Amino acid sequence: MQTTHYDSIIIGAGPAGLTAGIYLSRAKAKVLILDSGVAGGQMILTHEIANYPGFESISGYELSNNMRKQAKNLGCDILSGISIQDIDFESTVKTLSLSNGNHYTADTIILATGGRSRSLGVAGEEKFKGKGISYCATCDGDFFTGKEIAVVGGGNSALEEAVSLTKYASKVTLIHQFDHFQGFEHAQEQVRENDKIDIRLSSTIVSFNGDEHLESVTVEDHVSNKRYDLPLNGVFIFIGYEANTDFLNGRCIHLNERHEIVVDSQMQTNVAGVFAAGDAVAKRHRQITLAVADGTLAALNAMEYLNNKKR
Partner 1 sequence: MVLPTNLKHVATAAELNELINSEANVMVCCGRMGPMCIPVYGIMEELEDEYKHVAFRDMMFDSPEAAVIRNLPECRSFMGLPFTVYFKDGKVAAATSSIQNRDQITTILDREFGKA
Task: List contacts with partner 1 (CB under 8 A).
Answer: 37-40, 44-47, 59-62, 65, 80-81, 129-136, 138-140, 143-144, 212-213, 233-234
The smaller minimum CB distance to partner 1, of residues 40 and 278, is found at 40
The smaller minimum CB distance to partner 1, of residues 26 and 127, is found at 127
Taking the complex as a whole, how short is the minimal distance between the CB of residue 214 and partner 1, in angstroms?
Answer: 8
SS3 41: helix
The smaller minimum CB distance to partner 1, of residues 16 and 214, is found at 214
Give the integer Cα–Cα distance in Å for 112 and 37: 13
DSSP labels, 261-304: BP--TTSB-SSTTEEE-GGGBS-S---HHHHHHHHHHHHHHHHH
Which residues are paired to 229 by β-bridges? Answer: 218
DSSP 69: H
Taking the complex as a whole, how short is the minimal distance between the CB of residue 190 and partner 1, in angstroms?
Answer: 23
Triad 11, 14, 15: Cα angle to 5°: 120
Nearest CA to 68 out of 99, 108, 37, 94 is that of 37
Taking the complex as a whole, how short is the minimal distance between the CB of residue 97 and partner 1, in angstroms?
Answer: 18
The smaller minimum CB distance to partner 1, of residues 122 and 139, is found at 139
Taking the complex as a whole, how short is the minimal distance between the CB of residue 60 and partner 1, in angstroms?
Answer: 7
The smaller minimum CB distance to partner 1, of residues 68 and 94, is found at 68
SS3 194: coil
Taking the complex as a whole, how short is the minimal distance between the CB of residue 233 and partner 1, in angstroms?
Answer: 8
